[in-house]
Structure 1
Amino acid sequence: MLTTADILKKVKELEIKSKKLTRHLFTGEYHSAFKGKGMSFKEVREYHPGDDVRFIDWNVSARFNTPFSKMFEEERELTMMLLVDISASSLFGTVHARKKDLVTEIGAVLSFSAISNNDKVGAVLFSDGIEKYIPPKKGRDHGLFIVRELLTLEGKRKGTDITQALRYLNNTTRQRCIVFVLSDFLDPAFSDALRVAGKKHDVIGIKVYDPMDMKLPDIGIMETEDAETGKVLLIDTSDYFVRKTHEDAFFQHTEWCKQVFLRAGCDLLHIATREDYVKVLQKFFIGRS
């Protein structure tokens, strides 16, 4: 159990690391990936050579008998929402870190990326129920509060209900948001809710997994427990068929998740707990620019 001193120390470490990454790696990429997606009408002025002819206001032009162009400005302020899965399966980890630790660090980096761009950031922490809602705000103190909650909040329930989290998001946020869903997506039925959320928001899934979710080690008889259902199983990992079945199930689930996000018009990233998440995020941001 973390003491208050441990929590404060860890929050400070995450702030320093996040700010460093944001300053050196993500500021430009974040800005390019998400800014300028929304344009709001500003004014009409006389046409200047070089203006985009698609934005000529023909009604005003006809009235004054000279061409006028519609001018737009970038909608500067954005809102980022983090939907964070804190179900029991997030506590699993066999190398470097648990899934929860990786999710917390990614959440911290995304929060400070938004805050450094003067955007609002909020969070919905969920299991198979809504565990905590943090309304979006600006500022360092708010970012630190989100990181502290990501670090310390433990789910009262063990399961995963992504549909409920997405519906809660839609019901609590009126404006369009950038939404990062951080989960291992061990939920068989969230495709309809994702499709609805994807029409309203810019949704990006970050599927976090442990190497053992994909591959079992060849170590003989192993007792396993499903963190969310409590079901205990003895499996013979020295049996090739057992290992192959486990691996096939992982890739089937991965492919299913890809298709769900694709059909909803949303992006999905895959990050292993032993992987450099910075490179994955940066590549994604640059790819969107």
Structure 2
Amino acid sequence: MPAAPLAEPGIRTSLSELIDMRHRVREIQLFSRPGQRSPLVGLHLSKLRGRGVDFDQVRVYQAGDDVRNIDWRVTARTQEPHTKLFHEERERPIFIMVEQSQRLFFSSGLTFKSVLAAQAAALFGWAALGHNDRIGGLVFGDNEHYEVKPRRSKQSLLQLLNRLAKVNQSLHPEAVPQADSLSLALRRAREVLRPGSLAIVICDERALSEGIEQHLSMLSRHCDVLLMPVSDPLDHALPAAGLLRFGQRGAQLELDTLDSNLRQAYRQQAEARIERWELLAQKLRVVLMPLSTQSEMVEQLREYLNAQRPGHRK
């Protein structure tokens, strides 16, 4: 059996790189902490609160808190609204579904889309573990699905990252894509996730279809969902670079990128795809955080979260 390709920065990732992502968690507040609320707090609604759960602590009421959890005794004593926090708020199951398929093995930017997706999965995994949540997930690709059930365990996360790195290193441009790999992943998530879980879906931006929308709609009925479609600048616009030739598994395609009508049609198709993601997120009332290979991943997340903070002005 040939040895797996070595990690090539930006092209392939490695387990050590994904483990090192734990150091970057401190650069960005993805989840709320006592006294601090992340703009992503909306990912965890009140589905699990106040139903036989363990009381954790009381803190000053903040915008967005469930008014049903106000501690009226502390509020009366301090003359300032306080709310109760419960243990489940920091111990929810988080399930990361991350695509590692042939269609992600591409980039015209800083990193391959497959590497960007792996980095995002690792960052959220380490953030969830540090937040005392149960972490699990599913790596899905052209012909492989690997599942780790959510557990509050570093070993569970390492199992997921190890498989993620192995699948990433096995990617090659001649792989035969499996059209329904995301559908299978979403169907499995609906089977294993209990109400109140957080499902993070990291996939190619081009993966959205009517069937995928239906799966996401059903998943969002009992789980919080974070959508992270991954794209490359070439997914959105063609450069005016003359005749471009593409080849894959013996097939050839030629595009005359000097044709302005072709470039406009290509751009309009991409804009429609982006709008479809946005409309879906609005309809399902879930969080949409697109990622692009054009810039560094943590910086993209930081810009998004800053834009969601109260009082932010663009």
Query: TM-score category by the smaller chain?
Result: 0.7 to 0.9
Comparing both structures, which one devotes a greater share of its residues to helix? 1
Spell out, residue by residue over 1:71-110, the C-alpha distance to the aligned partner (whole angstroms, 9 max, x if none).
Answer: 7735231111111122221111122211000001111100
Asked whether the 8 Å contact 1:80–1:179 carries over to 2, the reply is yes
User: Structure 1: how far apart are the matches of 2:124 and 2:130?
Assistant: 10
User: Structure 2: how far apart are the matches of 1:266 and 1:94?
Assistant: 29
Residue of structure 2 equivalent to 1:11: 15
Cα distance 1:54–1:166, how it changes in 2: closer, same or farther (>3 A)?
A: closer
Q: Percent identity among equivalent residues?
A: 21
Question: Which is higher, the Rg of structure 1 or of structure 2?
Answer: 1
Asked whether the 8 Å contact 1:129–1:164 carries over to 2, the reply is no
SS of structure 1 residue aligned to 2:289: strand
Q: Kindly report which structure 2 residues correspond to 1:113-262, keeping only aligned pairs within 5 A, or say none.
A: 113-127=127-141, 131-153=145-167, 154=170, 158-161=177-180, 162-187=182-207, 188-189=209-210, 190-225=212-247, 232-262=252-282
User: Structure 2: which 5+ residue stretches go unaligned?
Assistant: 54-60, 71-83
Return 269-278 or 230-239, whichever deviates more.
Answer: 230-239
1:126 CA displacement? 2.2
| 1:88 and 2:102 correspond | yes
| 1:21 and 2:34 correspond | no
Aligned length: 264
Q: Kindly report which structure 2 residues correspond to 1:70-109, keeping only aligned pairs within 5 A, or say none.
A: 73-75=86-88, 76-109=90-123
Return 27-36 or 154-163, whichever deviates more.
Answer: 27-36
1:194 is matched by which residue type in structure 2?
L
Residue of structure 2 equivalent to 1:110: 124
Cα distance 1:288–1:87, how it changes in 2: closer, same or farther (>3 A)?
A: farther
User: Structure 1: which 5+ residue stretches go unaligned?
Assistant: 44-50, 57-70
User: Structure 2: how far apart are the matches of 1:94 and 1:40?
Assistant: 49
2:284 is matched by which residue type in structure 1?
A
1:276 CA displacement? 2.9
**TM-score (ref. length: structure 2):** 0.72
1:141 CA displacement? 2.9
User: Structure 1: how far apart are the matches of 2:217 and 2:16?
Assistant: 37
Asked whether the 8 Å contact 1:237–1:243 carries over to 2, the reply is yes
Compute the RMSD of aligned alpha carbons.
Answer: 3.4
Return 232-241 or 106-115, whichever deviates more.
Answer: 232-241
Asked whether the 8 Å contact 2:110–2:296 carries over to 1, the reply is no
SS of structure 2 residue aligned to 1:216: coil
SS of structure 1 residue aligned to 2:5: coil
Cα distance 1:54–1:105, how it changes in 2: closer, same or farther (>3 A)?
A: closer
Spell out, residue by residue over 1:227-267, the C-alpha distance to the aligned partner (whole angstroms, 9 max, x if none).
Answer: 9xx85321101211121111111111111122122222222
Return 234-243 or 29-38, whichever deviates more.
Answer: 29-38
Return 84-93 or 156-165, whichever deviates more.
Answer: 156-165
1:226 CA displacement? 6.8
1:11 is matched by which residue type in structure 2?
L
User: Structure 1: how far apart are the matches of 2:69 and 2:270?
Assistant: 49
Cα distance 1:113–1:160, how it changes in 2: closer, same or farther (>3 A)?
A: farther
Aligned equivalent of 1:270, options 286, 290, 309: 290
Asked whether the 8 Å contact 2:236–2:266 carries over to 1, the reply is yes
1:151 CA displacement? 1.8
